[in-house]
Structure 1
Amino acid sequence: MKEKDLRIDELRIVRMIAETASGSKAAQLLDMPQSNVSRALNALERRLGLEIFIRHPRALILSEFGEQFLRRADILLDKHNDLLDMSGTWKRSLNGMVTLGAPIGIQAFLARYLLPPVLRSAPELTVNILTRNPDEREQKHGTLFDSDCDLLISFFQPQDESLIARPLTRFRMGLFACADYIVQSPLHDVDELAQHRCITLRTLGGIRNSWHCYNAAGESIQVEVNGSSVCDNILPAIELAKQGLGIVYAPFYSVAAELEAGTLQPCLPRERGVNMQAWLIYRQRGVLPHRVQVIMDSIMESAKLHAHRLV
């Protein structure tokens, strides 16, 4: 090995520091002592004779050279991962972990209907379910794909056009409240929402949301509502609605248990809800790891079998 040859571990460290802007956070995510991370970065910069990061009191920021270096390092790391994945695929091994990112509201549906078939048929597979709730920016500009995900379920297509986004399933949205709220403040049509307490989501705009429904005439309309409460994911929003504190706009699959238990009820008939699209997103690679391909194909097939539960 030549003196200035680059090591894959060094490139991983540079990429993780760039993503976190912190040596300590990078060390935690890489499961390494922080001293080793700092030592590796300093040694690499000395060998190159150039600064990759500018040290600020609270953050490590890429230098101009560092930005160019990282761009090329990303290509090398992806090629390296392709080589490793090709080797694993060659052996057709299912051993290993697949990290699946998904919004918290769909995880119970995943665990109940979509994942059991593949986990029963391939017990050597390990699935790591990662909570990945999109934010308001992703609604406007497209979803972000975390570097630690193999697959990502999202309601928005990706910003990065090099990623693959397969239509996973369509799902129906609805308006829900507890029985006492509906008795005291019935909702007859969507244009009355301005008179109601609404529980809004940060994903959909924060305190002011745009809710999409069909009115009594069967016309698809968007209604602007102001939140009496604002939540950054669907679970606390559902709980507030169960406590009689307003109406929540949510997928039917997210409130399936509450509807069955009677703790929530639809404010309007099911057919008044609109259907939305969920996407299964993954990296475009020459060779997709066999274990990822198996999980992806099984989820797609199970989603078709249980589509009636979603719409």
Structure 2
Amino acid sequence: MDWDKLRIFHAVAEAGSFTHAGDKLSLSQSAVSRQISALEEALSVSLFHRHARGLILTEQGETLNRTVRDVFSKLALTEAFLSESKEKAAGKLKVTTTTGFGNVWMTPRIGRFLLQHPDITVTLLLEDDDLDLGMREADVAVRMHPPHQADLIQRHLADFPIPIYASADYIAEHGEPKSLEELHAHKLLGFHGWHPPLPNVNWLFDVIRDTTGRTATPYFEVNNLPALATALSSGSGIGSLPLYVASAFPKLVKLMPDLPVPSIEAFFVYPEELRSSKRVSVFRDFLLAEIAATRHHHAMAASLV
């Protein structure tokens, strides 16, 4: 089997169309189609079902794609190891995390990491659904839950509380609730989406129901935590947010500060094969240092209140 044809086949299988694969490979749609037809002819099997809405792998195509994905992931890992200097961290690092943590917390800090390690290039993938580290969809992940895969290494980074917030403008207009019962008289904002970024993202609605015996209905829902923080900061209502998101919105005021609130466990996760990678270790150490600095900043701010 021709390696170049296999590379094109893999791109088509992942993209689901000749056109999208061609865009990724900088090839025309017709050139990609010819290569796939040539591969099918050489193997004497059909690799794709072709229909108006795109391409679907045949059973033989699925078998070939599983093997090709594994081979190319191992090649990518080998390339990364070969490109990394023994004296210093260097090479490409693909990082994935949730949209909220990535947008609000990680992206503003990544410039400092790049200044400290100019020989590393970073690709940041923001996904609320977990990418497959074992298949090299990313090198490392910051996840808001322990990893489900047993063959991944995990390092606990931090526990982030999820307090209740509203803007000072909202409080001035509608008053500040002092209990969960009083929240029934307010506009409550919540998260809505197929892939919740946190296991307890809507804890506030659960505790209101369990404590008061009455169901609270969201006045507004959105499937993105930074967008939810923007709505709260603009005075749209009351809601709960992870501290790492809320701290980027200075107009927010913490409500009912004595009320016990849940926390999110953040983990740094990577495959066993990258245990000795210098790029991974320096990025992990950078995250731990930044979290420690953030924790110290919040402690100092609290002491001045």
Query: Alignment partner for residue 118 of structure 2, among 123, 138, 150?
Result: 123
Unmatched runs of 5 consecutive residues or more in structure 1: none
CA distance in 1: counterparts of 2:276 and 2:12, whole angstroms: 26
- In structure 2, the CA distance between the partners of 1:278 and 1:310, relative to structure 1 (3 Å rule), is farther
Residue of structure 2 equivalent to 1:154: 143
| Alignment RMSD (CA, Å) | 3.5
Residue of structure 2 equivalent to 1:110: 106
Query: Alignment partner for residue 132 of structure 2, among 145, 148, 157?
Result: 145
Residue of structure 2 equivalent to 1:278: 266
CA distance in 1: counterparts of 2:195 and 2:86, whole angstroms: 47
Residue of structure 2 equivalent to 1:48: 43
Unmatched runs of 5 consecutive residues or more in structure 2: 300-305
- In structure 2, the CA distance between the partners of 1:118 and 1:205, relative to structure 1 (3 Å rule), is closer
Cα deviation, 1:170-219, whole Å, max 9, x if unaligned, reads: 1111111112322414222234444432222124888xx73159989xx9
Residue of structure 2 equivalent to 1:36: 31
Query: Alignment partner for residue 73 of structure 2, among 78, 89, 98?
Result: 78
Aligned residues: 290
Say if 2:158 is the partner of 1:169: yes
Residue of structure 1 equivalent to 2:247: 256
CA distance in 2: counterparts of 1:180 and 1:154, whole angstroms: 33
Correspondence 1:1-311 to 2 at 5 A: 5-7=1-3, 9-89=4-84, 94-106=89-101, 107-113=103-109, 115-132=110-127, 134=128, 138=129, 143-145=130-132, 147-183=136-172, 184-203=174-193, 210-212=202-204, 225-259=216-250, 263-269=251-257, 272-285=260-273, 289-308=277-296
Is the Cα–Cα contact under 8 Å of residues 171 and 251 in structure 1 kept in the other structure? yes
- In structure 2, the CA distance between the partners of 1:231 and 1:215, relative to structure 1 (3 Å rule), is closer
TM-score (norm 2): 0.78
- In structure 2, the CA distance between the partners of 1:66 and 1:152, relative to structure 1 (3 Å rule), is same
SS at match of 1:226: coil
- In structure 2, the CA distance between the partners of 1:296 and 1:87, relative to structure 1 (3 Å rule), is same
Structure with more of its chain in strand, by fraction:
1
Is the Cα–Cα contact under 8 Å of residues 274 and 280 in structure 2 kept in the other structure? no
Question: Percent identity at matched positions?
Answer: 24
Deviation of residue 153 (structure 1)?
Answer: 2.0
- In structure 2, the CA distance between the partners of 1:282 and 1:18, relative to structure 1 (3 Å rule), is farther
Deviation of residue 90 (structure 1)?
Answer: 6.3
TM-score (norm 1): 0.77
CA distance in 2: counterparts of 1:98 and 1:221, whole angstroms: 48
- 2:140 maps to amino acid: L
